[in-house]
Amino acid sequence: MSVELLKRQLVRINRYFTQLVNSFDIMVEGMDRDEFLRFRMSLLPASGFQSVQYRMIEIAGTDLGQLVHVTKRELTEGVNDVELLYSVLYWKSGATELSSGKKTLTLRQFEDKYGHDLLRFAKKYQSCNLRRIYYNLPADTRQDAELIGLMREFDLNANVRWALSHYRSAVKYLDAKPKEIEATGGTNWQKYLPPRFQCVQFYPELWSKEETENWGKFQ
């Protein structure tokens, strides 16, 4: 892929994410909370967590190793086995009941429906995800400041800005002090959703040590 085409695609991707983030800001103020809380129970156990497109965007955006749960990253450093990496992705651990270690119904249903296709997708994109495309560029082209800027923008949009705007909507509608309301997907959402806890970074090589240490705290 030429660097010019890659830049054009990244501009388009970032434009979509900016739209998505803006749409969340509208939703955060746009609904009557009690009405929302009444109809959301009919969603159980469905959750945006089961958005297979979202998982495909992540897998096409970077190497699978970047999507491994933060507690398993050191263990899987340098591992290329897609099935092994796929088994410890951050969202799988996020939808596993801490107490029992059992997968939530939302995750089980998601895996039953999409598991096979998503694993095949992960195998297909192992060599042609956006990070691989970047590394397949000539070394001098990888220093292109505009390209690096667009990839950092995508990383922030997907893993910080969207995650934060979505988290704000969860806080607005589910954080009923003193006890927060359970998530329809069964995750411990206060611990699962904030980007500073998920620590998903598509392109660590494009960020300074300090930026990586403060990931999810700036946008």
Which residues form the interface with ligand HEM (CB under 6 A)? 27, 47-49, 51, 54, 91, 166, 169-170, 173-174, 183-187, 189, 192-193
CB of 45 to ligand HEM, least distance (A): 8
Among 90, 109, 104, 110, which residue's Cα sits nearest to residue 191?
A: 90
Q: Where are the alpha helices (DSSP H) in the chain?
A: 3-30, 33-40, 52-61, 82-87, 90-94, 105-125, 130-135, 145-156, 162-174, 189-192, 195-198, 209-213
> By Cβ distance, which residue is nearest to ligand HEM?
48
CB of 175 to ligand HEM, least distance (A): 9
Question: Based on CB atoms, which residue is closest to ligand HEM, 6 or 159?
Answer: 159
CB of 121 to ligand HEM, least distance (A): 16
Q: Chain centroid to CA 116: how far?
A: 19
Question: Based on CB atoms, which residue is closest to ligand HEM, 49 or 203?
Answer: 49
Question: Based on CB atoms, which residue is closest to ligand HEM, 173 or 207?
Answer: 173
Using only C-alpha atoms, the chain has a radius of gyration, in whole angstroms, of 18
CB of 7 to ligand HEM, least distance (A): 26
Question: Based on CB atoms, which residue is closest to ligand HEM, 47 or 157?
Answer: 47
CB of 47 to ligand HEM, least distance (A): 3
Q: Indicate the residue type of 59.
A: I
Please count the other Cβ atoms lying within 10 Å of the Cβ belonging to residue 192: 20
- Which residue do the tokens 């359970």 mark? 182
Question: Based on CB atoms, which residue is closest to ligand HEM, 27 or 133?
Answer: 27
Alpha-carbon torsion 216, 14, 72, 166, what sign?
positive
Among 176, 190, 183, which residue's Cα sits nearest to residue 43?
A: 183
CB of 214 to ligand HEM, least distance (A): 19
Beta bridge partners of 66: none
| Half-sphere CA count of 72, side-chain side, radius 13 A | 20
Question: Based on CB atoms, which residue is closest to ligand HEM, 186 or 206?
Answer: 186
